[in-house]
A and B are shown apart, each in its own frame.
Chain A
Amino acid sequence: EPEVTQTPSHQVTQMGQEVILRCVPISNHLYFYWYRQILGQKVEFLVSFYNNEISEKSEIFDDQFSVERPDGSNFTLKIRSTKLEDSAMYFCASSEMLAGGETQYFGPGTRLLVL
């Protein structure tokens, strides 16, 4: 069964450094997403991406964040200058376009630790 994959599974970085989290969505899906989950807290939406542009973003997704689909398979989340509070599990998800409802399929996540 097709699945969303994410790399790396774990990333440790120093505060102020740039990180790029990578995702390979399910191949026939058209919508892509990033969510994050700070340890012990709820899963929070960051951004959705469709047709090579951001279709929706949350307040969390500020200028420090960017997303890109550099080729036909990868979808990336870049954090320009990491802060301690960016430490979290980051989940990528993808979905088809379906009338009447959709399912977002999540990857296994990247655990980011900012020191």
Chain B
Amino acid sequence: SQQGEEDPQALSIQEGENATMNCSYKTSINNLQWYRQNSGRGLVHLILIRSNEREKHSGRLRVTLDTSKKSSSLLITASRAADTASYFCVLRDTGRRALTFGSGTRLQVQP
């Protein structure tokens, strides 16, 4: 099954700074999703971007998708301590229901 690879594995920034996380994948996709997980708790859906979209915004989140490079990025602007979490780019193989999670990027926002 297709799995996204997030980069970096860990990121530490100061409150107010922007955080950028990247995801690369290998085969063609219909869509790509970003999820957040706080300290081993529940998974929160952030954004779904479809293969025919290049950019999508939601509040302080901006997601880009470059299907020619098979990559996506998640930008969190003006980060807050509450943004401290692991962020996953999540893929689903065509015709399947299962979501495949990578190892994620662990973001630490220092107050």
Contact = CB atoms under 8 A, between A and B. Distances in A.
Interface of A: 31, 33, 35, 37, 39, 42-45, 48, 50, 55-56, 58, 89, 91, 93, 100-109
The main secondary structure of chain B at its interface with chain A is strand
A39 B40 contact: yes
B103 A45 contact: no
Contacts of A93: 43
A56 B92 CA distance: 13
Contacts of B98: 33, 45, 48, 56, 58
The main secondary structure of chain A at its interface with chain B is strand
A91 B43 contact: yes
A64 B77 CA distance: 45
B82 interface: no
A4 to B, nearest CB: 9
A104 B42 contact: no
Contact of B45 (A50, A56, A58, A104): A104
